[in-house]
Structure 1
């Protein structure tokens, strides 16, 4: 009687999914080391060691260190694009969408790929790769300008130059990715609450409308005049 042989090979769809998971692990491990040491100071040997695999194993998933950085930055930009698109798809007031997009942006730049986008970026890459990534950045900038323009039109934001406003907002939020320390005493959600408040309300104290002085009653006025008269009388008697 023949015993059916169980194939030791996994179905192709399973192999593809497993390969993608391992490739993402390579990218994430690399992004963490890039964020800590910088691109130039990081070696493929270090990335492989962090995953407990050999350097040749990495080449099954990526072709070069340049490709790793390109994919890390592209992933960070894709996360931003998707977050803004999701916010916009929900609809609602422009100011609410803008603030939600700001919060998402700030949260993403505290994550591995978002931090790599900010701390390393596309500058170390060949020109053709830089062009692709900067095109994605321009698209994100356009989305922010559009949200700001809509918020101005609905009266939620004071009239301003949407381009400068977008640069200011994105610049302030991006900088979080440089100084944020994972595991520190500041949580991303708390940082974003404070940052949004600063960016939307500013630093200066808003002066409350001057409250009208209470009118003094006639009785109080008469008592005041009587008191002044007694005071004058005493001073006159002391001379």
Structure 2
């Protein structure tokens, strides 16, 4: 009997390919972070344990250590994820170009959208205080980068005439502070969507709440319409 006839097909491996296992691990790791962020926002950082996170995920506590090292690292990753979303969104807006005021409005919408998500709310409600050094310093560096982008946009807006003269540093602090507070009071079951909150918030922050006299409003509206005087016809 030929040797080849004695050979049988190799059994299929019960393990997924390495690339698939890596993807599954990333999905599960993201689930750990998302669940942790939700619990931190609901109960607070110190009142949430790894056991709580594991229970909500229906896994054992030792299983979590396959994806994260500690609760401190979980908070760091949650906050870093939110700040990365803000940074990437702002960078995309800047790269797309346009007037400074339109870029500023777009960045304010991105900022509002992030702080109404689990990771963004974690930045606002929990922050960096529970973290030890040097993790706290790293997060401050990421925040400083976002603040600098807002300052530049405001300075550009003043330069182009779309914003009133102001201190860009103070203005950036005030705008970001107001938008950040949305993460404190926002509720997903509220009557306003994140988009509606962003639209109303931007209008209030940039246009104010004071009622302007009718004459002043008409004057500003007229000055906004730049028209060219008709050219007089010369003699032939």
**Could you tell me the TM-score, scaled by structure 1's length?**
0.86
Instruction: Answer yes or no: is 1:86 the counterpart of 2:86.
Output: no
Q: What is the aligned residue count?
A: 211
Alignment of 1:5-44 (within 5 A): 5-44=11-50
**1:131 aligned residue:** 137
Could you tell me which residue of structure 2 aligns to residue 113 of structure 1? 119
Gaps of 5+ in 1: 212-239
Residue matched to 2:225: none
What is the CA RMSD across the aligned residues, in angstroms? 1.1
Which consecutive aligned stretches of 4+ in structure 1 deviate over 3 angstroms post-superposition?
Answer: none
Match of 1:178 among 175, 184, 198: 184
Question: Larger Rg: 1 or 2?
Answer: 1
Tell me the equivalent position of 1:146. Answer: 152
Give 5+ residue unaligned stretches, structure 2. 1-6, 219-236
Q: Cα distance, 1:3 vs. partner?
A: 2.2
> What are the superposed Cα offsets for residues 135-178 of structure 1, whole Å, 9 maximum, x if unpaired?
00000000000000111100000100000000000000000001
1:62 and 2:68 correspond: yes
CA distance in 2, matches of 1:105, 1:91: 18
CA shift, 1:67, in A, is 0.6
Q: Give the drift of 1:49.
A: 0.7
- C-alpha separation in 2, matches of 1:188 and 1:49: 30
